[in-house]
Amino acid sequence: MKLNGISDNDGSSKSRMRVGRGIGSGKGKTGGRGVKGQKARTGVRVKGFEGGQMPLHRRLPKRGFNNVSSIDYNEVNVGRIQQAVDAGKLGSGPITVASLIEAGLVSKARDGVKILGMGELTAKLTFDVAAASKSAVEAIEKAGGTITMSAQSSDASAA
């Protein structure tokens, strides 16, 4: 066997169809595109066009809205704060948005931080945050700490 004697088996490959080369070829005249109209032209495909009928995406009603005045808080549980204190990530100073970002409990400041009451808090801490749940306030005061919920802290976090 020689390399120049190697060839494909008979019928294993087919030569490509030459489109638009006369009616006798079987793929002439319209070239497999059907007849006339926008889709017979090259490069034209209108997505969602239904021949002049009102398209489905415009027939269906709109739903929902984006509330511009909604507040998007970062939620942090008191249990996670206690873990950070135990790990030495949070100091004894007042806990604000900046200190929580530095400790890695919050990735980025949104409209402020809301403290939630899941978990247990044993450290005596001072909080200056935008909001807190009732159970979180109880847990902080039970541990001997104080909490101030101020609008300034949410404004400072947005800046």
- pTM across the whole model: 0.55
Q: Is residue 140, in this structure, part of any structural domain at all?
A: yes
Structure tokens at 144: 């001997």
Number of domains in the chain: 1
pLDDT digits (tens, 9 = 90+) for 3-33: 999 999 999 999 999 999 999 998 998 888 8
Tokens of 88: 């030495």
- pLDDT of 155 above 70: no
Domain presence at residue 133: yes
Domain-located, residue 119:
yes
Residue 142 lies in a domain: yes
| Axis-axis angle for helices 78-86, 134-142 (nearest 10) | 40
85 part of a folded domain: yes
151 occurs within a structural domain = yes
The predicted-structure confidence for 85-118, as pLDDT tens digits, reads as follows: 999 888 778 999 999 999 999 998 899 999 999 9
Range of the domain at 87: 74-158
CATH code, 136: 3.100.10.10
Is residue 135 a part of any domain in this protein? Answer: yes
Q: What are phi and psi of 128, to 5 degrees?
A: -130, 90
- Asked if the structure places residue 6 within a domain, the reply is no
pLDDT (0 to 100) of residue 51:
81
